[in-house]
Structure 1
Amino acid sequence: MGKIGLFDLEKHFAFYGSYHKNPVNIVIHMLFVWPILFTTLLILYFTPSLFNLPRLEFSLLGSDVVLVFNLGFLFTLIYSLFYVCLDAKAGSLAALLCVFCLVTSSFIANWLGFQLAWKVVLVSQLLCWTGQFIGHGVFEKRAPALLDNLVQAFLMAPFFVLLEALQTFVGYEPYPGFHETVEAKIEAEINEWKASKEKRNQ
């Protein structure tokens, strides 16, 4: 059964899905969205600790990992909780991936140091964003969702591509009829966009 308000998965998925119907563009986003989140967390590792909370140090596979309770940790917490609230099963998987990104990006950031890390992040972000803009401009023929709703696009992007992959490869649905209902809403949003575009061109 669907939820309402901030946790209305159908509404969020339909909004994001209406900007991502082309199969090539979807694949491009599957490849590039999570690396954007990962490298964002990598550079946020170097932000100061919030509320002077202590660092958490532990060993992972024989290597030292240092977690800092900073902006990267806060973003990971917000994203993870939001995804779980949207859908318990897929959201829990997304939350685990977010935590995995936080831990591994912290390890890599600590290993690289800031002087090298920011260069790696810059190149990665440029590559990933360029790929996505090509996906929209060349294949989707529609501007990215972030131009219409920046917060929703950034917040939903990682979960959208994960849910899209789960639907495509294992036939996952948060609940029976979800896919059919969302597809109808996506078509309605696309038709509304086309009508608005034609009206502006008249």
Structure 2
Amino acid sequence: MAVSDLFNLKKQLVQYGSYHNNKANVAIHMIFVPTILWTVMVFFAKSGQVLAVPASAKWLKAVGPNAAFLATATITSYYAILDPIAAALYSPVLYGMLYTATQFQRTNPNANKIALAIHAISWIFQFLGHGVAEKRKPRLMDNFMQAMVSAPYFVWFELLFSLGYRPKLYKTVMSEVEQNVAAFRAEEAAKKSKSS
């Protein structure tokens, strides 16, 4: 994937959607991608404060600012490049998750153990969704970092699209996704017929 494609919303949605076209798998992702993101924020919040906070910005102390804050600010900026309106709508959700993850890390001595258990269970469901429902390996097998960064935004777009956001984009994306999935299925069928 070209670097310019990393900043092309349609291409990102088509790439991700091509691996998430089954309704059951999408539903699993709608639940467990945010759960995985939250647990990662809990792990990153363990860093403690990584930036000095001026007296005029004491509100920042509620979120460290820790490594989870820096990661959230980075992905929010990336999301804003892809679609500023969707990112603006998603930001309160992300920063709410950041706040709760940070507070959980600060107040629970077993935060990492609990988050790790939730994280592992969430991944199990994700893999079951791909293996049983989607019948296709997860995208992260092809591009781990890009899948990890784009997964939360893809899930957010699933919600936005279901509410009628950018219907032309949705139609274009789904058309290309269906073509990609059909090509994948045809390729898989050809492999099976060659091996028999």
Under a length normalisation based on structure 2, what TM-score does the superposition of the two structures give? Answer: 0.86
Counterpart Cα distance in 2 of 1:57 and 1:159: 29
Higher share in strand: 1
2:79–2:87 contact (8 Å) kept in structure 1: yes
Q: Does 1:90 align with 2:83?
A: no
Counterpart Cα distance in 2 of 1:5 and 1:148: 15
Under a length normalisation based on structure 1, what TM-score does the superposition of the two structures give? Answer: 0.84
2:5–2:12 contact (8 Å) kept in structure 1: no
Q: Which digits, 9 at most, give the CA deviation of each residue in 1:63-95, with x for residues without a partner?
A: xx6432332122101111111111122111222
Q: Does 1:172 align with 2:172?
A: no
- The alpha carbon displacement at 1:128 in A equals 0.6
Give 5+ residue unaligned stretches, structure 1.
60-64
Q: Which amino acid aligns with 2:69?
A: F
Partner of 1:143, secondary structure, is coil
Partner of 1:177, secondary structure, is helix
Q: Which digits, 9 at most, give the CA deviation of each residue in 1:122-169, with x for residues without a partner?
A: 11001111111111111111111100111221111111111101212x
Match of 2:99 among 99, 103, 108: 103
Q: Does 1:45 align with 2:45?
A: yes
1:84–1:95 contact (8 Å) kept in structure 2: no
Identity %: 33
Q: Residue 155 of structure 2 corresponds to which residue in structure 1?
A: 161
1:38–1:102 contact (8 Å) kept in structure 2: yes
Partner of 2:174, secondary structure, is helix
1:7–1:85 contact (8 Å) kept in structure 2: yes
Matches within 5 A, 1:16-165: 16-47=16-47, 49-50=49-50, 53-54=52-53, 66-113=62-109, 116-165=110-159
Q: Which digits, 9 at most, give the CA deviation of each residue in 1:75-122, with x for residues without a partner?
A: 101111111111122111222221111111111111103xx0111111
Higher share in helix: 2
Counterpart Cα distance in 2 of 1:48 and 1:108: 12
